[in-house]
Amino acid sequence: MLRKLLIGTALASGLAFAAHAEDVKEVQMLHWWTSGGEAAALNVLKGDLAKEGYAWKDVPVAGGGGDAAMTALKAMVAAGNYPTASQMLGYTVLDYAAAGVMGDLTETAKKEGWDKSVPAALQKFSVYDGKWVAAPVNVHSVNWLWINKAVLDKIGGTEPKTFDDFVALLDKAKAAGVIPLALGGQNWQEATMFDSVVLSTGGPEFYKKAFNDLDDESLKSDTMKKSFDNLAKLVTYVDPNFSGRDWNLATAMVIKGDALVQVMGDWAKGEFHAANKTPGTDFLCYRFPGTDGSVIYNSDMFGMFNVPDDRKAAQVALATATLSKSFQSAFNVVKGSVPARTDVPDTDFDACGKKGIADLKAANEGGTLFGSLAQGYGAPPAVANAYKDVVSKFVHGQIKTSDEAVTELVKAIDDAK
């Protein structure tokens, strides 16, 4: 009764319209999209929102994988200063939702039919307690090789189908005086590559058990030890200046032909795209040898915070734009990822994008779609961080043997659980 009365009074006095007019026409977004390809993709979103009259308040925090961004977000949220939305990966969304700081986009989700168009693997991380708390932007996949075609042709190489083929190919590049493997020596890049090595070494069931189920037997198995052996082998093909290098600089080495190949998520394709390079002509995208048929995925989500009422309209506009079919195509073509909806045509995507879309569909239907442990979709952040730390210590020689690496991994994951 009181509520009705208040609404009645507000309407009568025109206050309801005044309140609406006071909506803040601005989207404040925290993200780590600072490379050339990432910035180009973000511009698609800024442009779409600008058309609807929303200003963009950028909160960029550089650092691939998002560790620095997540530290910045934690400080903002602790201070009660919620952004409209933040780029987030998988389990981090669930952590913030459990802390009770996320908004509720369920009404928008219903209106837009997200339940039907967003794959279940993503809904697991964007819906909490029955409420939509995040808008998935894309699906990335990490088990890819990015190869400079001219260099491959020059050394007389072909697509490596097994790990041994891959090693033979890297040897050829080395013999020709080209840097075989472009790697950035940062823990998240090393662990992202190791995700693929584990899938290739142990196969799909093993990857799932070890890196999604955190099964102890798998984590401490000989197969895990063999995976570390394989990682050690790959690291022998990296140039001496790799420590601390940003991922996009490693991609640039391949684009320029200074290096043959990078093992990286398909955000690397965003860099090729930004450099006007064409798949099949300038570069090649192959699945990491021995992982054909499986997809290790992550998805960028815009986690939606419980912002004040005058900022909610902007948040709904952002969420609606993010999951619109046209944006899903335009953005992901530039970003290197594939749509977070199952009903977006692949028409505008290049050959790698078309393959990414088809692979994702097949893996989803065949039960070979797995969350990336390095990229926040295998286990909660504490476990993922423990994993990245052990892999990096191994790559940089602080952990000396594969045996030791396995022992440290089991211990670190156990402590973090």
Among residues 28, 65, 143, 409, which is the contact residue for ligand BGC, using CB under 6 A? 65
Residue number with CB closer to ligand BGC (61 or 406): 61
Smallest gap from Cβ 277 to ligand BGC, in A, equals 17
Pick out residues in 14-33 that bind ligand BGC (CB under 6 A).
Answer: 32
Q: How many residues contact ligand BGC, by CB under 6 A?
A: 12
- Candidate segments 59-67, 162-170, 282-290, 409-417, binder of ligand BGC by CB under 6 A: 59-67
**Stretch binding ligand BGC (CB under 6 A), from 62-70, 116-124, 225-233, 353-361:** 62-70
Contact letters for ligand BGC, residues 85-124 (x by CB under 6 A): ----x-----------------------------------
| Alpha helices by DSSP H, 99-242 | 106-112, 114-117, 120-126, 149-154, 163-175, 187-207, 216-219, 222-235
What is the rounded CA–CA span in Å between residue 170 and residue 164?
10
Nearest to ligand BGC of 284, 340 (CB atom): 340
**Cα–Cα distance, 140 to 265 (Å, whole number):** 7
CB of 123 to ligand BGC, least distance (A): 18
| Smaller CB separation from ligand BGC, 28 or 298 | 298
Q: Going by C-beta distance under 8 Å and a sequence separation of 6 or more, which residues neighbour residue 183?
A: 189, 190, 193, 235, 238, 242, 245, 250, 262, 263
Local structure of residue 311 (DSSP, 8 states): G
Q: Does the footprint of ligand BGC cover residue 375 (CB under 6 A)?
A: yes
Give me the least distance between CB of 96 and ligand BGC, in Å please: 16
Kindly identify the residues of this chain, within the stretch 163-222, that bind ligand BGC according to CB under 6 A: none
In the complex with ligand BGC, the residue whose CB is nearer, 140 or 388, is 140
Helices then strands, each counted (H, E), the chain: 20, 14
Residue 93 CB, nearest approach to ligand BGC (Å)? 13
Interaction mask 119-158, ligand BGC, x per CB under 6 A: ---------------------x------------------
- Distance between CA atoms of 97 and 244, rounded to whole angstroms? 33
Using an 8 Å Cβ cutoff, are 313 and 23 in contact?
yes
**139 CB-near residues (< 8 Å, 6+ apart):** 119, 122, 297, 298, 299, 337, 338, 339, 340, 360
Between CA 187 and CA 393 the distance in angstroms is 8
What x/- string results for residues 228 through 267 when contact with ligand BGC is judged by CB under 6 A?
-------------------x-------------------x
Find the shortest distance in angstroms from Cβ 211 to ligand BGC: 16
- For residue 341, state whether it binds ligand BGC (rule: CB under 6 A): no
Sign of CA dihedral 126, 132, 133, 134: positive
Contact between 111 and 104 under an 8 Å Cβ cutoff? The reply is: no
Report the distance separating Cα 248 and Cα 229, nearest Å. 26
CB of 269 to ligand BGC, least distance (A): 10
Which residues are 180's β-sheet partners?
A: none
Q: Is 300 one of the binding residues for ligand BGC (CB under 6 A)?
A: yes
**Of positions 27, 44, 61, 66, contacts ligand BGC by CB under 6 A:** 66
Instruction: Tell me the two tokens of residue 133.
Output: 């708390």
Contact 120, 341 (CB under 8 A): no
Closest CB 390 distance from ligand BGC, rounded Å: 19
Distances (CA, A) of 278 to 30, 204, 228, 275, 283: 31, 31, 34, 9, 7
Question: DSSP character for 102?
Answer: B
Q: Which of 45, 54, 61, 64 binds ligand BGC (CB under 6 A)?
A: 64
Q: Considering the complex, what minimum distance in angstroms separates the CB of residue 369 from ligand BGC?
A: 16
| Shortest distance, position 69 Cβ to ligand BGC, whole Å | 9
Smallest distance from ligand BGC to CB 165, Å = 27
CB within 8 A of 91, min separation 6: which ones?
125, 376, 377, 379, 380, 381, 384
By beta-carbon proximity to ligand BGC, the closer residue of 126 and 402 is: 126
Backbone angles phi, psi at 92, to 5 degrees: -65, -40
Instruction: Give the residue with the Cβ less far from ligand BGC, 64 or 136.
Output: 64
Distances (CA, A) of 86 to 67, 248, 266, 411: 13, 22, 21, 32
Q: Using CB under 6 A, which of the segments 60-68, 274-282, 321-329, 340-348 binds ligand BGC? A: 60-68
Cβ contact 178:313 at 8 Å: no
Q: Which residues bind ligand BGC (CB under 6 A)?
A: 32, 38, 64-66, 89, 140, 247, 267, 298, 300, 375
